[in-house]
Amino acid sequence: MKTGIISDTHGLLRPEAIAALQGCERIIHAGDIGNPQILEQLAAIAPVHAVRGNNDLDLPWACDLPDQLILDLNGCKTLLIHDIADVPTELDPDIKLIITGHSHKPGIEWRGNILYLNPGSAGRRRFKLPVTLALLNVQSDSLSPQLIHLLTPST
């Protein structure tokens, strides 16, 4: 199952992100969405699961979004939460994937049997960090993540 993972759009859904997410069977937004139109645009591509980020907390449209979600991605139990600092210290032993955002720093890291995936920020560039999202191929017995750079370093 091809899954698109995006975070920290902060009200900006770039055309490059829309293009990169085409063909995904599911899209996950890890928070700091910025406005509800982002979720509507993503839902036009594939079903969306989203959590609110710290910048979404006081926005009336985001009050119904959860702070964390447990998802089943093609048999892979997944925790979706905006800030890695909020990941519970005691995890369900069946969780195989943790998706976070917040830092704007993309990362793919295996910690034992668990894949920690931060797609980075797909919205406005912060400092000199890259503008990225992630694609994840989820098979019943494997996870294959890939970071997608949406802009060349000079833009």
* Per-residue pLDDT reduced to its tens digit, 15-53: 999 999 999 999 999 999 999 999 999 999 999 999 999
Give the residue extent of every domain in the chain: 2-149
Average pLDDT, integer, range 53-80:
94
pLDDT at 121: 96
- Are 66 and 24 in contact, with CB atoms under 8 Å apart? no
Nearest CA to 42 out of 62, 61, 64, 21 is that of 21
CA pair distance 6, 17, nearest whole angstrom: 8
Q: What is the helix (H) or strand (E) element at residue 3, kind and residue range?
A: strand 2-6
* Per-residue pLDDT reduced to its tens digit, 130-147: 999 999 999 878 899 999
Average pLDDT, integer, range 96-112:
95
* 125 — pLDDT class (breaks 50, 70, 90): confident
Name the architecture of domain 2-149: 4-Layer Sandwich (3.60)
CA pair distance 92, 67, nearest whole angstrom: 17
CA pair distance 134, 153, nearest whole angstrom: 17
Query: Across the chain, what does the average pLDDT equal?
Result: 94
The yes-or-no verdict on residue 153 having pLDDT over 70 is no
Instruction: Read off the pTM.
Output: 0.95
